[in-house]
Structure 1
Amino acid sequence: MKSSYLTNLVLLIVVLALLWLSQREQLVSDQTPTISSLSAPDVSAIEIAQTNKPVIKLERQHDAWMLTAPFNAQANQTRINLLLSLLSAPVYGHFQPMDQASLDQFGLSKPETTLTFNEQHFYFGGVETLNKRRYVLHKEVIYLLDDNVAPLLRASAGSFVDNRLLAEQNTITQLTISDLGDNEISLSLQDGHWKSSGFQSNTDQLKSIIDSWQLAYAMQVRYLDKQTISTLPAPQIRISLENRAEPLELIMTETAQSLQIVNPALQLQYDFPLALKKQLLPNTDTE
């Protein structure tokens, strides 16, 4: 009886010890140092400043991020999340620079790239040779981090624009396409069903065309100046959207490599694979 009691006591002690170790490891894990106490949900403004390049500004507006400088556009949430990942990135080392020479050594005396979250500035320096990690200066302390964010900071403002031609919340109710052999065709939603005008097609084919427009996701987005816009042909595509009074007007052009759709109101050009053209335009030879 006594032996059984002692065995149970030993087992209880072992279980309690394992529980304590588990909680201690979890506590250590939860206290992994990061570069800032600021958390991603608290960030409402982001600024990227680079030497000899326009400043890029992004703002959280309600539940969406918007690019507000050097031009206005819906922002790409995936790239925003990558920027914000800096705040939760593991720190592999940190130290205070002793003097200006220390800053020079780590490429931080005159940093070419500065990332700002709200009012907190993060200066990006050089890369250490062993593990290719990046030196980042924040509040007079140099941190060593994985180099996941710096490459994105060198991208153009267009890289931060949402690649979707139509915002997720925009629903197409009518699509009109002109300049197809001097023939204007349209697809419109009537009583929950898609109907065509100017060509013959079945309901599944019409819905496939609309879905292709609704889900169109560009390989690249570029900002066009007004002079470039003025050299383009008149819009051939009009898209009516739910809860939007005026139709969206678009210009379609192509090169040997890509299909280009321009939104002249936003001064944005969306580049798609040339093969997408067959999915966006109906086959009018089926009449």
Structure 2
Amino acid sequence: MKSRWIVNLVLLILVVAIATFLYFRPMPKEEGPKTYEISSMKLADFNKVSIEFPAKAPVVFEKIDGNWRITKPFDARADLSSVQRILSVVAATTTEKFTLGDPSQFGLDQPKLKLKLNDEEFLFGTINPVSGEQYVQYKDSVYLVQTTYSESAGIQIEEMMDKSPFKPGEKPTGFDFSRLEQWEESRLQVDLADGKWTTSVANAKLTQNEMNEWFDEYWKHMAVTSVERYTPDRRATYPSLEVKLEGGAKVHFDKMQESPEIILGRPDEGIKYHMPPDSGFTMLNPPVTLAK
């Protein structure tokens, strides 16, 4: 009887040991497809981007004084996120890598797009009909990547322009609305100094919280829907306003249109800014109550 009890105890210990081993043993790693990086370069490595499509004027971006600009086919501030999306091809990964061999089999004998980042060239060929991905050549290798990289480089140049009405470093500290129709009589100006808003109009009333909300919502976060190039016509006369900047400089804007959308033109930058009529109207009318 005693021997049977000992056998059962030994069996129990053995079962527990096996269960413990199975529970804590390392699980084998599943082998997935090998992943290739197109390059080991970083987005910060570049200060020039050239885009060439067949039968289209080339587009060039350059990093000047730490900020990206469009330098061809015209000069304008560039939208940073647009440039970063184009540069992101250097960090692309794929499971498909081929030796170049005959470029025509990938459509690389007549590339759909030539993308040059500094001196590094990426050529975009045909789209694989099975995966929907695009062949891209870098150096002597060809990779299959998502078409988003060539699509980002192919959007309209106007969409790659910076939508902010202010240059980097330009900080508004006041507004001269005296040349707008609704403020011509009062010659309204509002200024922000030491965190407090004041107005040039005697006996006018304003509330600091309302002015701060107006400034934050309609000027710091301006609702620009689109931009386009602007060539000022000296013969045309528009209502206008000036934005006073920290340091004493001013920025002039022409109010070119009020309906069905607000359009402000900045002559020195050569850009028009399109805005919805409601937000555009409010930004030109601060919450100031004039004495009757």
TM bin (shorter chain) = 0.7 to 0.9
Q: Secondary structure at the match of 1:149?
A: helix
Q: Give me the TM-score of the superposition, normalised by structure 1.
A: 0.80
Partner residue of 1:86?
89
Match runs of 1:255-270 below 5 Å? 256-270=259-273
User: 1:146 Cα deviation (Å)?
Assistant: 0.8
User: 1:210 Cα deviation (Å)?
Assistant: 2.4
Residue pair 1:56, 1:69 contacting (<8 A) in 2 also: yes
Corresponding residue to 1:201 among 206, 220, 231:
206
Residue pair 1:195, 1:206 contacting (<8 A) in 2 also: no
In the aligned structure 1, how far is the partner of 2:57 from the partner of 2:235? 25
Q: Describe the shift of the 1:81–1:285 C-alpha distance in structure 2 as closer, same or farther (beyond 3 A).
A: closer
In the aligned structure 1, how far is the partner of 2:180 from the partner of 2:140? 61
In the aligned structure 1, how far is the partner of 2:81 from the partner of 2:41? 19
Residue pair 1:166, 1:214 contacting (<8 A) in 2 also: no
- The amino acid of 1:236's aligned partner reads S
Partner residue of 1:147?
147
Q: Describe the shift of the 1:190–1:255 C-alpha distance in structure 2 as closer, same or farther (beyond 3 A).
A: closer
Match runs of 1:115-194 below 5 Å? 115-167=115-167, 169-177=169-177, 178-181=179-182, 182-183=184-185, 184-194=187-197
Residue pair 1:164, 1:217 contacting (<8 A) in 2 also: no
In the aligned structure 2, how far is the partner of 1:229 from the partner of 1:159? 24
State how many pairs are aligned: 274
- The amino acid of 2:110's aligned partner reads K
In the aligned structure 1, how far is the partner of 2:77 from the partner of 2:253? 17
User: 1:14 Cα deviation (Å)?
Assistant: 5.0
Match runs of 1:49-128 below 5 Å? 49-61=52-64, 63-99=66-102, 101-102=104-105, 106-128=106-128
Q: Which has the larger radius of gyration?
A: 2
Q: Describe the shift of the 1:73–1:217 C-alpha distance in structure 2 as closer, same or farther (beyond 3 A).
A: farther
Match runs of 1:218-233 below 5 Å? 218-224=224-230, 226=231, 229-230=233-234, 232-233=236-237
- The amino acid of 1:201's aligned partner reads L
Q: Secondary structure at the match of 1:248?
A: strand
CA RMSD of aligned residues (A): 3.3
- The amino acid of 2:133's aligned partner reads R
In the aligned structure 2, how far is the partner of 1:123 from the partner of 1:283? 52
Sequence identity, in percent?
20
Residue pair 2:36, 2:96 contacting (<8 A) in 1 also: no
- The amino acid of 2:181's aligned partner reads L
Match runs of 1:9-24 below 5 Å? 11=21, 15=25, 17-18=26-27
In the aligned structure 2, how far is the partner of 1:59 from the partner of 1:263? 22
Superposed CA offset, 1:189-236 (max 9, x none): 134211123454322332233221222142212123x3x544653561
Partner residue of 1:210?
215
User: 1:63 Cα deviation (Å)?
Assistant: 4.5
In the aligned structure 1, how far is the partner of 2:258 from the partner of 2:131? 42
Q: Secondary structure at the match of 2:93?
A: coil
Q: Describe the shift of the 1:205–1:232 C-alpha distance in structure 2 as closer, same or farther (beyond 3 A).
A: farther
Q: Describe the shift of the 1:234–1:207 C-alpha distance in structure 2 as closer, same or farther (beyond 3 A).
A: same
User: 1:176 Cα deviation (Å)?
Assistant: 0.7
